[in-house]
Structure 1
């Protein structure tokens, strides 16, 4: 067994324990029992945010040099967010690119994405429409748009 597989199996074992301190992650694990290099995660929209009431699926592709290289994580569920490409689900987040460290785990990366949902950064957008609403201080318009996408596309709780 190679070091990547050992690391992923160790992470999977830790995730199988119930963690009440992170209720926003409802599932994280391999997408297929025969492939440790592709994972899926379900991320619950936090209460008090326009994502509340929805659960969002993420696809995680683990590189062959993990944890030295970051995983590629994208939304499968269509999500409206300034830092998420509306069509591809690509996520603009430094830790998934230049700020990755082997100390990060798949779970900590998913938690960082959950934090990003609640704290958009409109100055590095992949969704210019959503970013422009925030840049123009149209919080009501932004949150209404996000709620509409959440009700149309998110997995219902």
Structure 2
């Protein structure tokens, strides 16, 4: 099994190789800015959505923090803070989840 640091690096690389725009914040891999287009044939089509992802030192054993930077109205997003409110990110997190699966 790889170390938490290696796993974080691998998950960030997978995210960077995806169809999403990914930029590190503060020249590291613990904080990322991710931009993606709203899915076709959805209420979000045509929008560009920006999220901030924070990976804790204990990632993947501790869940990431994910929040929208721009305003979005969705039942799983806190309207004031932009935090994504899903039990899979908070209470039921498991190291088997990866950022790509959780985010999109």
Gaps of 5+ in 2: none
Pairwise CA RMSD of aligned residues?
Answer: 1.8
Residue number in structure 1 paired with 2:41? 48
CA contact (8 A) 2:52 2:69 kept: yes
In 1, Cα distance between the equivalents of 2:79 and 2:16? 31
In 1, Cα distance between the equivalents of 2:67 and 2:94? 19
In 1, Cα distance between the equivalents of 2:23 and 2:94? 21
Residue number in structure 2 paired with 1:85? 78
Using the size of structure 2 for normalisation, the TM-score is 0.84
Greater percentage in helix: 1
Alignment equivalent of 1:35, drawn from 23, 28, 31: 28
Q: Deviations over 1:57-94 (max 9, x none)?
A: 11011112110110010000110112212221011111
Matched position secondary structure for 2:76: coil
Q: Choose 1 or 2 for highest CA Rg.
A: 1
Residue number in structure 2 paired with 1:12? 12
